[in-house]
Amino acid sequence: MGLYDNIILGFSTAISPVNLLYCFIGVFFGTLLGALPGIGSLAAVSILLPLTFSLDPTTALVMLAGVYYGAEYGGSTSSILLNLPGTPSNAITCLDGYPMAQQGRAGVALFTTTIASFFGGSVGIIALYTISPLLADAAIAMGPADYFSLMVAGLVAAAAVTQEEPLKGLAMVVFGLALGTVGTDIDSGVARFHWDMLELRDGISFIALAMGLFGVSEVILSLSTMDQRNVKQRVTLRGMLPTRDEWRRSVKPALRGAGIGGVFGALPGTGPTIGTFIGYTLEQRLHKDPSIFGKGAIEGIVSPETANNAAVQTAFIPTLTLGVPGSATMAIMLGALMMNGVAPGPNLINSNPEIFWGLAASFWIGNVFLLILNIPLIGIWVRLLQIPYHLLYPAILILICVGTYTIRSNVFDIFLVLTFGMIGFVLRKLRFQLAPVLIGFILGPMIEENFKRAMIFGRGDFTYLVKQPVSGVFLALTALLIGWAIYKTVRRRPRRSEA
Amino acid sequence: MNRLDRTDLLAGLFVIAMGLYFAIGGLEYRMGTVVRMGPGFVPVSLGVLAVILGAGICLAAFRRAGALPEIDLRQTLFVLGTIVVFALLLERLGLIPAAFLSVLTASAALPVTRPVSNLVLAVCVAVGTWAVFVLILGLPIPAFRFAF
């Protein structure tokens, strides 16, 4: 099938009433949860994950993806109005978005970020359309050894590249991999680490893990910071239009932001947040008068927001074509696919074209929904920001509990959420990043399987992994990353001196 | 003597403890060889790796100063308590009473007392979750029951 047929197939899948409805539900709740500070896109996706359990895989993914990019759109609203980022990747938008709001130009900032997000998202989707099939074709030729090494490299990159403390990131990957060994070993039938609990023989529920690590710990951490805020801005449709000069100034930052975001989104471990930081810094360097940044420069919100939303879309490229998730949110997407019995990997595009192309088409539709939700209906979100956190967090906690329970009708899973909520809270207090835990947990079984197969291919020769050219390159890359992580830890200067 | 990051030291110790758990626990199972891995092989190797990484984190902690993180015990305990209350009551009293009582538990996490608004919130959340999960999504969770 040519690209044209695939696009048609995608749209005919995406515009079915069910998919349209769930796409809308996804972006709507994504915007809602993203706009509320204290709930990032990751927590939003984890919390709403159980609702997709009864849906077919395409619809489930359409909705979850909608939640994700919806939350990234919505996150800029609270950055601008409250100086509190709705999601981590909107943090940089505070720098110039909030000053704009203080100057009474919140409407312009909101309008601009929405258009920038739409533009960034569109560039990301085009990249997804063009690169994914090529990448999947290339990946199909890869053997188990190549696959094993690719996943290891992806895992190490996700853990070490962006972390301030790479060793702690690697430790979290190992923790995630180890959690994946809980339960029955497929080859031998031996139940491992089951603590004499029947439920643990099936392994740790991935939803309970995600909910506990990201949902519960987030609520506890937000409680102390989130309870006081108020919005004084009145946002009217009329006051939203940027001046002609601002339009002109936005074009180049938007193009650069989309490029930067697109590249960093697709790489494992970097993701949207890094893209926004690089985009912002670049605009500041290139501008003839860098002093305007931080005081409400339109370039300072355009570049990070296009980068953010381009990255959000291109993050799906490695996830859907290689089965390698670059971030915790993507790990959840993969988990949702696997729960529905769809095997991720390079065969996905060919064996389930309706999932891939339908999802890609739903991104366009979702982005159009978001344009409507964020421009004419912006007033709703502004008013929502006034809901105090003390009314929100009890509802979020109950939603987490009920959601987890509905999956297996099992109270045990709620206690599992509690356990991982506690662990997640302690880990975050100890300055660990939790995303690598989930990525390790999801990739662990796939790495093990490919390793075993590679050993069969190589007749038990360990060096087979290195001798395969593609695999060898990935392993060399992994070694470099680990070496760099150690170097960075050893060379690190004292962070702050305490008298 | 002040050059010690207590948070990182604790973090390293946590990773070591986690590694020891999986390494020692994994020894109970057959190891096998690299080529034919037994059920114990992966946990033990990961455990050993974690101990090494944990030791590295501990060592790095001695290179600079840092204080222990502060934890708000009240908030933490009430949030976690909310989940316990819900888990214990769901199958005994049904969804609506369980949700109602756990919202009240959650509200107690903040020191400010707002009895009226908390009660209203508890009713809304209880009825709301029931409406979403039972009415709309049709999940088989009883709204009320009494089964101690």
A52 pLDDT above the threshold of 60: yes
A72-76, A125-129, A289-293, A348-352: which is most confident:
A125-129
Query: B76 is written with which tokens?
Result: 């933490």
Alpha-carbon gap, residue B72 to A61, rounded angstroms: 37
Cβ A80 vs Cβ A100: under 8 Å: yes
With bands split at pLDDT 50, 70 and 90, how would you rate the model's confidence at A229? Answer: low
A152 pLDDT above the threshold of 70: yes
Residue of B nearest to A413 (CA): B87
Alpha-carbon gap, residue A27 to A369, rounded angstroms: 7
| pLDDT single digits (tens) A236-278 | 666 788 888 989 999 999 999 999 999 988 887 777 888 898 8
A493 pLDDT above the threshold of 70: no
Alpha-carbon gap, residue B99 to B93, rounded angstroms: 10
Q: What is the 3-state secondary structure (H, E, C) of A372-408?
A: HHHCCCHHHHHHHCCCCHHHHHHHHHHHHHHHHHHHH
The arithmetic mean of pLDDT across residues A325-329, rounded, is 87
Query: A275 is written with which tokens?
Result: 């893209």
Residues of chain B positioned with their CB less than 8 A from the CB of A217: none
Substitution target from B41, B79, B95, B127 for chain A, most A beta carbons within 10 A: B79
User: Which residue of A223, A400, A402 is in closest CB contact with B109?
Assistant: A223
3-class SS of residue A161? coil
Substitution target from B13, B33, B46 for chain A, most A beta carbons within 10 A: B46
- Give residue A84's Cα distance to chain centre: 19
- What are phi and psi for residue B5, nearest 5 degrees? -90, 105
Interchain CB contact of A164 with B (< 8 Å): no
Alpha-carbon gap, residue A260 to A174, rounded angstroms: 30
Residues of chain A positioned with their CB less than 8 A from the CB of B40: 192
Using alpha carbons, select from A162, A122, A70, A66 the residue that is nearest to residue A258. A122
The confidence score (pLDDT) of residue B2 equals: 59
Using alpha carbons, select from A86, A112, A97, A492 the residue that is nearest to residue A300. A97
The confidence score (pLDDT) of residue A226 equals: 61
- Greater confidence (A62 vs A86) lies with A62
Domain ranges of chain A: 3-490
3-class SS of residue A419? helix
Interchain CB contact of A167 with B (< 8 Å): yes
Alpha-carbon gap, residue A59 to A143, rounded angstroms: 31
Provide the residue type at A174 as one letter: V
Residue of B nearest to A186 (CA): B39
- What are phi and psi for residue A194, nearest 5 degrees? -95, -5
Q: How far is A192 from chain B (nearest CA, A)?
A: 8
Using alpha carbons, select from A103, A80, A82, A84 the residue that is nearest to residue A39. A84
Substitution target from A167, A193, A404 for chain B, most B beta carbons within 10 A: A167
B1 pLDDT above the threshold of 60: no
- Greater confidence (A268 vs A337) lies with A337
Q: How many residues does chain A have?
A: 499
The confidence score (pLDDT) of residue A403 equals: 87
**∠ CA A212-A214-A218 to the nearest 5 degrees?**
105
Share of chain A above pLDDT 70, in %: 94
Q: What is the DSSP string of A116-148?
A: HHHHHHHHHHHHHHHHHHHHHHHHHT--HHHHH
Are A394 and B82 within 8 A, CB to CB?
yes
Residues of chain B positioned with their CB less than 8 A from the CB of A171: 15, 50, 53-54, 57
Using alpha carbons, select from A210, A242, A243 the residue that is nearest to residue A416. A210
Alpha-carbon gap, residue A202 to A339, rounded angstroms: 13
3-class SS of residue B5? strand
Q: Which helix (H) or strand (E) is A25 found in, with range?
A: helix A17-35
- Greater confidence (A356 vs A491) lies with A356
Percentages helix, strand, coil for chain A, rounded to the nearest 5? 75, 0, 25
With bands split at pLDDT 50, 70 and 90, how would you rate the model's confidence at B84? Answer: very high
CB-based contacts of B4: which residues, under 8 Å, 6+ apart? B61, B62, B65, B66
- Greater confidence (A185 vs B18) lies with B18
Cβ A169 vs Cβ A163: under 8 Å: yes
Query: A423 is written with which tokens?
Result: 């662990």
With bands split at pLDDT 50, 70 and 90, how would you rate the model's confidence at A190? Answer: confident
Substitution target from B10, B24, B85, B86 for chain A, most A beta carbons within 10 A: B86
Predicted-complex ipTM score = 0.93
A497 pLDDT above the threshold of 50: no
With b meaning 16 or more CB within 10 Å and e meaning fewer, what string describes B27-53?
eebeeeeeeebbbbbbbbbbbbbbbbb
Residue listed under structure tokens 């102390």 = A224
A133-142, A428-437, B74-83, B139-148: which is most confident:
B74-83
Query: A82 is written with which tokens?
Result: 């409250």
Using alpha carbons, select from A109, A105, A98 the residue that is nearest to residue A37. A98
Cβ A471 vs Cβ A148: under 8 Å: yes
Using alpha carbons, select from A141, A116, A64 the residue that is nearest to residue A319. A64
> Burial level of A227, CB count in 10 A (0-12/13-18/19+)?
middle
Alpha-carbon gap, residue A363 to A55, rounded angstroms: 18
CA dist A424 → A348, A392, B47, B108 (Å): 32, 21, 19, 22
A162 pLDDT above the threshold of 70: no
Domain ranges of chain B: 6-61, 73-136
Interchain CB contact of A391 with B (< 8 Å): yes
Alpha-carbon gap, residue A388 to A378, rounded angstroms: 19
With b meaning 16 or more CB within 10 Å and e meaning fewer, what string describes A58-84?
bbbbbbbbbbbbbbbbbbbbbbbbbbb
Provide the residue type at B142 as one letter: P
| Mean residue pLDDT across chain A | 87
Residues of chain B positioned with their CB less than 8 A from the CB of A429: 7, 69, 71
The arithmetic mean of pLDDT across residues A221-246, rounded, is 72
Lowest mean pLDDT among A320-329, B114-123, B138-147: B138-147
- A93-102 vs A106-140: helix crossing angle, rounded to 10: 160
- A106-140 vs A299-314: helix crossing angle, rounded to 10: 30
CB-based contacts of A180: which residues, under 8 Å, 6+ apart? A203, A204, A440, A441, A442, A444, A445
Cβ A120 vs Cβ A261: under 8 Å: yes
Interchain CB contact of A402 with B (< 8 Å): yes
The arithmetic mean of pLDDT across residues A333-352, rounded, is 88
The confidence score (pLDDT) of residue B105 equals: 95
User: Which residue of B42, B56, B83 is in closest CB contact with A448?
Assistant: B42
The confidence score (pLDDT) of residue B24 equals: 94
The confidence score (pLDDT) of residue A498 equals: 37
A209 pLDDT above the threshold of 70: yes
Query: A266 is written with which tokens?
Result: 């697709």
Count of Cβ atoms closer than 10 Å to residue A453 Cβ: 15
Interchain CB contact of A292 with B (< 8 Å): no
